[in-house]
Amino acid sequence: MRLRHLMIAASTAALLAACAPKTPAPAPEAAAPEAEVETVEAEAPLHVDVIDCGTIKVSDLDIFSSAGDYAGVSDTLTDSCFLVKHPNGILLWDLGLPGMLVGNGENTQGVFTVSLDTSLTEKLADLGVVPSEINYVAISHSHFDHTGQIDQVQGSTWLVNQKEKDAMFPPDGSAPYDPSLAPTFAMFSPMEQQVIGDEYDVFGDGSVVIFQTPGHTPGHSSLQLMMPESGPVLLTGDLYHRKESRELKRVPRFNFDEAETLASMDAFEARAERLGAKVIIQHEPDDIEALNGEIR
């Protein structure tokens, strides 16, 4: 969902200012050499920690279905980040709600009430990881609830496809598609960046693949994982927000392109069937709670 639908459109700059002292960029000497990660985890299989990156209560889901059948329905969405640990490095998939929400209870604007109990950095510490150990960051897309804590992983390399990057930073120098997000997007600018194609094999062995599922945003992507115990797993990003969205192929009213979204849903389902993959809808509490904090 988009920041302007939520609460802090006007205070994004304040948000970043508030976050800055708590989450300084990693000192150069704190940067973990990649070789160290490889040495420590050389024999470890792929493992994914599921991190609670906030809660989004929606008092009226109408904007989540262009078919009009969600009007008057309320629901609670979870907001998750995924720490993908590979023997050759660590990828963080999605960045949750803004860190400034920590300690500020529930914030309501319109139909949305958002909250975040603990910052990403603290959650990582609970897992024994410091942000400087994260080699790569990738977002399913650039909305507010997936970019909120970019300030905390500034030492990582940002993997991004050209379409999403152009939506965030229009090549003609104009404002992004949602100008209220510009201060958040600005936090991506100083990072190391790697532009990736429609399908990108992060570690070169097919175990972690970012693939485009455009429509929600121009370069929206999903993540394919080959897990040692679970087998193939697909993380949806916001291709779907709820179980019902997938079953009924409902497209949010605020998507960038409905036809493209429906085509992405078809391609995603074909991939899921081909692989026999388990599908995890990132905002669906039932899907996330069932994981109990990890994907093996």
Neighbours of 274 (CB within 10 A): 9
SS3 73: coil
* 49 vs 145 by CB, closer to Zn ion: 145
* 19 vs 239 by CB, closer to Zn ion: 239
Provide, rounded to whole angstroms, the least separation between the CB of residue 151 and Zn ion. Answer: 18
Q: Pick the binder of Zn ion from 94, 133, 178, 238 (CB under 5 A).
A: 238
Provide, rounded to whole angstroms, the least separation between the CB of residue 141 and Zn ion. Answer: 8
Rounded (5°) CA angle 163-153-91: 65
Site string for Zn ion, 47-66 (x = CB under 5 A): --------------------
Cα separation, 8 vs 146, in Å, equals 15
Piece of 19-27, 64-72, 233-241, 243-251 that binds Zn ion (CB under 5 A): 233-241
Which single residue is written with the structure tokens 């000192």? 27
* 188 vs 240 by CB, closer to Zn ion: 240
* 238 vs 244 by CB, closer to Zn ion: 238
Piece of 47-55, 57-65, 129-137, 231-239 that binds Zn ion (CB under 5 A): 231-239
Strand 208-212: give its sheet, edge to edge.
Answer: 199-201, 208-212, 221-227, 231-235, 278-280
Provide, rounded to whole angstroms, the least separation between the CB of residue 102 and Zn ion. Answer: 19
Residue 234's contacts (CB-CB under 8 Å, 6 or more residues apart) are: 222, 223, 224, 225, 268, 271, 272, 275, 277, 278, 279, 280
Contact indicator for 221, 138 with CB cutoff of 8 Å = yes
* 145 vs 178 by CB, closer to Zn ion: 145
Dig out the tokens for 266 from the structure.
């078809």
Provide, rounded to whole angstroms, the least separation between the CB of residue 154 and Zn ion. Answer: 22
* Strand pairing report for 231-235 and 107-109: unpaired
* 75 vs 238 by CB, closer to Zn ion: 238
Provide, rounded to whole angstroms, the least separation between the CB of residue 56 and Zn ion. Answer: 8
For the chain, first and last CA: distance in Å? 29
Instruction: State yes or no: residue 151 binds Zn ion (CB under 5 A).
Output: no
Contact indicator for 196, 157 with CB cutoff of 8 Å = no
Instruction: State yes or no: residue 287 binds Zn ion (CB under 5 A).
Output: no
Instruction: State yes or no: residue 145 binds Zn ion (CB under 5 A).
Output: yes
Contact indicator for 138, 188 with CB cutoff of 8 Å = no
Binding site for Zn ion (CB under 5 A): 145, 238
